[in-house]
Amino acid sequence: MRIERVDEKTVKCFLSNEELEEYDIDYKDFILRSDKAREIVQEIIEQAEEEVGYKPPKFAFDLQIMMLPDQGLILTFSDRDAEARESDQFIECLKEMKRILQRTREKIAAGTDSGEETEQNGEAGSGEEKGNKAQEQQVSRPGFAVFVFSGIGRIMEYAAMLPSNLMVDSSLYEMDGLYYLYLLKGRASYERYSRACVQAMEFGSLYAADESQVLRLREHGQCLISEKVIRKLRG
């Protein structure tokens, strides 16, 4: 496992797929807080104390889980006041989304014909610049995320907290006993969508910000509600 010190009160631990197999554990254990997950968390905290000087809080800490497609998962341990934690959680969420989308963009760029770049060089310069700006905006502001919840009740609690006029799009899937909320920005402002994502992490965990994971969910999961999940579960 790889442990990284973010700041005085926050550390991140990366567990590869190989390590997860070795521990015989997966993200569901961490979401459901199984005994096995608690043992691993304790081991991570002890290792973080030794390697990076992390001092765990005396009473409780905040644990966020994020899946990395085909790589493993990241566990983030934090001890902060609610307002700062909410802001930093989403910043970290966006950073991970940005990295994933950046890798996707690089793969797409690698598959294009490099010869095309030399055509109409004078006009291409301004067009390329505009294209790069558009890509940077897309990378820095992902328009969807998938969150995983331990039960529908948690999603209903989450939906009840959101504004009734929030214009996001959403669908709900079930896979392996867990529930996945696919949340898209829709017509909502990015500020309101961002806030909705932050609140989702108070009730569940970020599962993915990669389209390939959404495809896997659609192929192997069962779609329970295809649209307007938030509105339908608000009660």
| 179-197 pLDDT per residue, tens | 999 998 888 887 788 888 8
Model confidence at 1: pLDDT above 80: yes
pLDDT surpasses 80 at 53: yes
The burial class, CB within 10 Å (0-12 / 13-18 / 19+), for 59 is exposed
Across the range 93-112, mean pLDDT stands at 59
pTM across the whole model: 0.52
- Pair 114, 96: CB distance under 8 Å: no
Orientation of helix 82-110 relative to helix 121-140, angle to 10°: 150
Q: Between residues 113 and 4, which one has the greater pLDDT?
A: 4
Q: What is the pLDDT of residue 212?
A: 67
Averaged pLDDT score across all residues of the chain? 76
Q: Which residue has the higher pLDDT, 27 or 182?
A: 182
107-163: per-residue pLDDT in tens?
656 765 544 443 444 444 445 444 444 444 444 456 788 898 988 889 999 999 898
pLDDT of residue 215: 79
d(CA 151, CA 210): 23
Place of tokens 């969508």: 193
Tokens in use for 7?
Answer: 């700041």
Dist CA 48 CA 61 (whole Å): 14
Q: What percent of the chain has pLDDT over 90?
A: 12
One-letter-per-residue 3-state SS of the chain: CEEEEEECCEEEEEEEHHHHHHHCCCHHHHHCCCHHHHHHHHHHHHHHHHHHCCCCCCCCCEEEEEEECCCEEEEEEECCCHHHHHHHHHHHHHHHHHHHHHHHHHHHHHCCCHHHHHCCHHHHHHHHHHHHHHHHHHHHCCCEEEEEECCHHHHHHHHHHCCCCCCCEEEEEEECCEEEEEEECCCCCHHHHHHHHHHHHHHCEEEECCHHHHHHHHHHCEEEECCCHHHHHCC
Pairing of strands 10-16, 205-208: unpaired
Q: How confident is the model at residue 102 (pLDDT cuts 50, 70, 90)?
A: low
What does the pLDDT read at residue 37? Answer: 87
Q: What is the mean pLDDT of residues 155-177?
A: 90
CA distance 140 to 108: 17
In the predicted model, what is the mean pLDDT of residues 79-93? 53
